[in-house]
Amino acid sequence: MQIEHQLSPRLLERAVRVLIVGSGGNGSAMLMGLPYLHQAMRVWGHPGGLEVTVVDADTVSETNCVRQPFSRSDIGMNKAAVLVNRVNMFWGLDWEARPEFLSETTLRNPDRGADVVIGCVDTRAARQIIEKVVTASSPVSYWLDLGNNAASGQFVLGQPLNALNRRRADRLRTVSELYPEIVDTSEGEDPLPSCSAAEALERQEPFVNQALAASALAMLSRLFRYGRLSYQGGFYNAATGRSSALSLHPKRRCRAANRVPQRTT
């Protein structure tokens, strides 16, 4: 018998509040794809579609213009503001940018809550903060994490162990539960992104972010269209061209859990 995850009916009654943490390679790719999901949800009869907020205090650098959707005219400007303004102008939306880093107090204000948190960060410390925020914040239904290295990466959807989800026997385990090392700051951090455009391309191939984001968006699309999922994420390797799903089946989950998650965005 196939195991399936069922979407909570509460997310079909009003606009779904989405918080993207980080607007670099994965974050920008996710943001650029979410308007398509928003429109599709409205066509399918969803009452509000998506309300998206992007949190990121970083500014655009020259290196970002190589494989992220920024131009030289954006250099020095806040990443989240640039991208959200662009999306709003093109699609006629009213999504929000917050030029700040995520903190443990970000979601404590009821007006700043989120149903789905999409983490697109590149350090264990940043993921550790996300884990604390989504666990302490009762309204958060899902935490979707994306991470990658030079040529491969993963996306993992989970339900944080907070007041909203803790009583669910079928709760999806989060990325930090499946792969505890991803939030273990005692293991140190990977080297920071290079300031050289050429070296940045050596460290990461140009289209890994888009491939991961497209797969994650396709998963969210199925969840909101059909109200159920038979998997909670996946792995992609550009070097081999192979993709594999992180299945809900316990045996498949155990095998997939042996994979090492990637951290760079």
Given this model, what pLDDT does residue 257 score? 44
Range 200-217 average pLDDT: 83
The total of other beta-carbon atoms located within 10 Å of residue 39's CB is 13
- When pLDDT is cut at 50, 70 and 90, the band that residue 48 belongs to is very high
Angle between helix 25-43 and 208-226 (nearest 10): 30
> How large is the average pLDDT for residues 223-227?
97
**In the prediction, which pLDDT does 107 show?**
84
For the chain, give the mean pLDDT. 88
Q: Which residue stretches of 179-257 are H helix?
A: 197-203, 208-226, 250-256
pLDDT in tens, 150-208: 889 999 999 999 999 988 888 999 999 999 999 988 776 665 554 444 455 556 778 99
Tokens of 144: 């979707």
| pLDDT at site 169 | 83
Supply the CATH classification number for the domain 5-256. 3.40.50.720
Q: Which amino acid is at 123?
A: T
Is the pLDDT higher at 76 or at 251? 76
Is pTM beyond 0.85? Reply is yes
Model pLDDT, residue 67: 87
Residue boundaries of the structural domains of the chain? 5-256
Predicted confidence (pLDDT) per residue in 51-105, tens digit: 999 999 999 999 999 889 999 999 999 999 999 999 999 999 999 999 999 988 8
Out of 4-8, 14-18, 148-152, 185-189, least confident range: 185-189
- E strands along 22-104, which residues? 50-55, 96-98
CA distance 130 to 118: 9
Q: How much is the pLDDT for 22?
A: 97
pLDDT of residue 1: 56
Mean pLDDT, rounded, for 234-255: 79
Exposure pattern of 158-176 as b/e (b: 16+ CB <10 Å)? bbbbbebbeeeeebbbbbb
Asked if the model's pLDDT at residue 209 lies above 80, the reply is: yes
